[in-house]
Structure 1
Amino acid sequence: MTSWDDTFAGGDDDASPPPPLSPEERAGVLDDLADLEVFRTLLEPTGVKGIVVDCPDCDEEHHVDWALMQANLRQLLDEGQTGRHEPPFDPDPDDYVSWDYASGYADGVAARAEADEPGGGQGEGRTAGRHARED
Structure 2
Amino acid sequence: MIPVGHYRGAVTPFDDASGPDFGPADAPPPLTMEERAGVLDDLAELEVFRTLLEPTGIKGIVVDCPDCDEEHHVDWALMQSNLRQLLDEGQTGRHEPPFDPDPDDYVSWDYASGYADGVAAMAEHEEPSGRHGGGKHAREE
Fold shared per TM-score above 0.5: yes
Identical amino acids, percent of aligned pairs: 76
Which residue of structure 2 lines up, in the alignment, with residue 46 of structure 1? 56
Structure of larger gyration radius: 1
Which residue of structure 1 lines up, in the alignment, with residue 126 of structure 2? 116
SS of the residue corresponding to residue 16 of structure 1 reads coil
Specify every segment of 5 or more residues in structure 1 that has no aligned partner in the other structure, as ranges: none
Q: CA RMSD in A?
A: 2.3
CA contact (8 A) 2:17 2:92 kept: no
Cα distance in 1, alignment partners of residues 49 and 16 from structure 2: 33
CA displacement at 1:9 relative to structure 2: 6.2
1:83-94 aligned at under 5 Å gives the runs 83-94=93-104
1:52-67 aligned at under 5 Å gives the runs 52-67=62-77
Cα distance in 2, alignment partners of residues 120 and 6 from structure 1: 50
Which residue of structure 1 lines up, in the alignment, with residue 137 of structure 2? 130
CA contact (8 A) 2:60 2:106 kept: yes
Give the total of aligned pairs: 125
The residue type paired with residue 129 of structure 1 is: K
Which fold has the larger relative contact order, with Cα–Cα distance below 8 Å and residues 6 or more apart in sequence? 2
